[in-house]
């Protein structure tokens, strides 16, 4: 049997399809991890906000119990601004986590499209291989028939003349 003429291309496309499938799996894992991070970041933000509120209440309670000095009020205002000033960091981390989810979803979709294309490319080659094999089978049959005909044909013209005279 003759080796398929595009066997190397089939091998390359099979390897490409396998690589794309591995990349798709990795992208799905990345998406799952990114999705797990969003609730963690939301909880961190909520915990921070709750802690800040409790800390501000504690500071106000502490200042109310003391005799109030202008410096104490200024220190309290500074402490409140300082505590609230860190909140954007937590908000940014949450937004980054959500952005990571979006990017991971886009990557998964891209890898799905690549996998579909790789599968189509491989299927085209498989269809071509089937056609090629059918043609090869016909060619082999034709060559076999030709050999068979030649084996029954006289070797040279003198033999064919003798055969004609004998049967005449």
pLDDT above 60: residue 168: no
pTM: 0.64
- The mean pLDDT of 57-63, rounded to a whole number, is 81
pLDDT recorded at residue 127: 92
DSSP 86: T
Spatial distance between the Cα atoms of 34 and 111, rounded to a whole number of angstroms:
17
Rg of the Cα trace of the chain?
A: 40
Average pLDDT over residues 59-72: 73
Query: Given this model, what pLDDT does residue 12 score?
Result: 92
Residue 23 near residue 112, CB atoms below 8 Å: no
Q: What pLDDT is recorded for position 147?
A: 82
Model pLDDT, residue 167:
59
CATH 1.10.287.1700 fits 7-149, yes or no: yes
Report d(CA 151, CA 153) in Å as an integer.
Answer: 6
- Tens digit of pLDDT for each residue in 21-39? 999 999 999 999 999 999 9
> CA 42, CA 162: separation in Å to the nearest integer?
104
> In the prediction, which pLDDT does 49 show?
92
Which residue's structure tokens are 């498989």? 126
């Amino acid at each position: 049997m003759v080796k398929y003429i595009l066997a190397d291309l089939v091998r390359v496309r099979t390897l490409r399809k396998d690589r794309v499938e591995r990349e798709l799996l990795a992208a799905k894992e990345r998406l799952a991890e990114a999705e797990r991070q969003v609730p963690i970041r939301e909880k961190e933000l909520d915990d921070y906000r709750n802690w800040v509120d409790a800390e501000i209440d504690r500071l106000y309670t502490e200042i109310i119990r003391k005799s109030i000095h202008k410096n104490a009020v200024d220190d309290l205002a500074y402490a409140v601004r300082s505590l609230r000033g860190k909140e954007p960091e937590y908000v940014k981390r949450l937004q980054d986590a959500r952005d990571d989810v979006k990017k991971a979803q886009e990557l998964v979709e891209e890898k799905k499209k690549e996998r579909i294309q790789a599968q189509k490319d491989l299927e085209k080659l498989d269809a071509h291989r089937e056609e090629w094999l059918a043609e090869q089978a016909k060619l082999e049959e034709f060559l076999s028939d030709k050999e068979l005909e030649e084996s029954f044909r006289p070797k040279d013209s003198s033999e064919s003349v003798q055969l004609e005279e004998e049967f005449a």
